[in-house]
A and B are shown apart, each in its own frame.
Chain A
């Protein structure tokens, strides 16, 4: 089996390609991400469940990574998903996007494309209309390979 080991060339080199990282950028630590999450969703304790996330385990390039996030919910006036937030804690700025639904949304399902500066766990939070908070996370390996093919 071919040895697949490749080597870090440094964040400054990455800056030209990922459009996301940069040598001057401070990396978010766990405490920083908690502050961001709290600002987004408040103090509720998140529980695992209800969220499914289609996201490749390995991205050929961190610039563009497709995803679909789905939250189980009847989506009625009585019970619906208010918002879904995606975060990339190891990006210079940790937010990916926030999506806001109504009871008329039909489905709390969104597809888009994220950009990741490096391998990390992507975090998702789903806020329900009754105040409950759900969460999930998924590890994504970010690779940059080749010479421009």
Chain B
């Protein structure tokens, strides 16, 4: 069983406020350079893209490479345009997607 990604949004936000969003996901971010106990190379497997949408519009994107540490932590900011839901997508080498959604309470 793998862990669900962690998302931290503020409890609530006002329209126009710039808020910080924190994300954390379990993933080995295998670079393809590491050797296992038998001496063979562990194949490369990265989360190569992270994208955040709010109310359907992309608000932030990251491309991640081997220089990003395992269990990637990404925190970024966005200005709140109105009420809505965040959708966070992580895309793995090979195309698998992990998607998490969380609504933002706008006051």
Contacts and interface: CB of A to CB of B under 8 A. Distances in A.
Touching chains A and B, CB distance < 8 Å: yes
Contact of A98 (B30, B62, B76): B62
B34 A96 contact: no
Interface stretch (A1-9, A49-57, A100-108, A128-136): A100-108
B59 A110 contact: no
A91 B79 CA distance: 35
Interface string A8-48: 00000001100111101100000000000000000000000
Interface string B60-92: 111111111110111111110100000000000
Chain A interface bracket (under 10, 10 to 19, 20 to 34, 35 or more): 35 or more
A124 interface: no
A125 to B, nearest CB: 14
A16 B78 contact: no
Interface in A75-123: 86-88, 91-102, 104-107, 109-116
Contact of A25 (B33, B63, B65): B33
A22 B76 contact: no
Contacts, number: 118
B73 A93 contact: no
Interface of B: 18-19, 28-31, 33-35, 41, 58-70, 72-79, 81
A143 interface: no
Nearest to A99: B62
Contacts of A106: 18-19, 77-79
A97 B67 contact: yes
Contacts of B62: 97-100, 110, 112
Contacts of B29: 19, 115
Most A CB atoms within 10 A — which of B18, B19, B30?
B18
Given A15-B34, A115-B70, A109 B77 contact: yes
A89 to B, nearest CB: 10
A91 B67 contact: yes
Contacts of B58: 102
